[in-house]
Each structure stands twice: as structure tokens, then as C-alpha cells.
Amino acid sequence: MIKSHKQKNITPKKVASKNEPTKVDKVIAEIMPKNLKGSKGFLFVFFALIIAILWTGIVTAHNIHQYRKNYGELQQIKNQYMKLEIEYRRLLIAQQTFSTTQKIASRARSELNMHFPTFQHKMVLQPTHLSEINNTSQTIEVDEALPSNTQPRSAMIDQEVSQ
């Protein structure tokens, strides 16, 4: 032993000789039956274990690849779901808008007796004096379906033009 005032007791390590069995060799010797040592059966078991380890590694790599691929697809489906959810909300808003318009139209028909004019209720007027209407030939649609106590628009327009 070498002693120094700064160092503690240092003992040189024993170097194992080639003939001495290591701890691993001792464990293997305890596990393996004595009749398989050095025989073809031992080599078969050894290579079977090597093949099983390689196969396990390949299967693990394949499973990891499949997991990542499936996870990517899941993310794409989630993005598609979010886009469809946004589109669904927009369509709900549009549906509510159109249903409100339909409610207004139905109330106008039922409570106010309003209706869309038919072709028979429309009249196309052409001005007699083109200079009075900015020198253009415009046609004007007039609704003649007025209550009986009022004068039709066409008569009012004719009166204004004649003055």
C-alpha cells in the first residue's frame, strides 16, 4: 500500500486473468444446465435469444413509427373537425338570419296584409317627354295594387308630368 498524507489508503485492483471466471460467467453457469455448456444446444439457445432481441427491436421500431403516423392523422382530423365546427357555427348563424327574414315576411303577410306584387299588378311607364327625365329612356315599375280609397301611382305620375 502506498500512503501519502493527502491520499488515503490505495490498494491496487486485482486484474482478472483469462482463466478466472467473471461474475457474469458464474451467473450464466448457475442458470444454464451443465449438459448444454459448449454444445450445439447452447448455441441454439444463444442465437434464438439474439433473434428474439432483434425481432423485439424491429417490432418496437415499427410500433413507434405507426404511433407517430397515427398521431399525425389524429392531428389532421382534429384540425378538420375544428374547421367543420367553425363552418357549422357560421351556418347556424345564417340559418337564424334567414329564419328571421321568413318570420318578418310571414308576419307582414298575416298582420299587415302585405304581399308581393304579381305581374298583373305591375305597370311599366315610359315618359312622354324625354327632356324632362334627364334625356334618358327609363322605365318605371309601379304597383297598382293599392287600397281602393287611394289614387293609383300612375295617375299621380301623369298629373305631375302634365304640370
For the cut 50, the answer to whether the pLDDT of residue 75 exceeds it is yes
Residue 86 lies in a domain: yes
Residue 85 lies in a domain: yes
pTM above 0.75, yes or no: no
Task: Give the structural domain span for 78.
Answer: 69-93
With 0-12 CB in 10 A as exposed, 13-18 as middle and 19+ as buried, what is 159?
Answer: exposed
For the cut 70, the answer to whether the pLDDT of residue 63 exceeds it is yes
CA distance 100 to 72: 42
For the cut 50, the answer to whether the pLDDT of residue 144 exceeds it is no
Residue 87 lies in a domain: yes
For the cut 90, the answer to whether the pLDDT of residue 74 exceeds it is yes
Give the three cell numbers for residue 141.
Answer: 315599375
User: Measuring CA to CA, which residue among 128, 134, 152 is closest to residue 142?
Assistant: 152
Domain tally, the chain: 1
- Show Cβ contacts of residue 152 under 8 Å, excluding neighbours closer than 6 positions: 142, 144, 146
Give the three cell numbers for residue 82.
Answer: 375544428
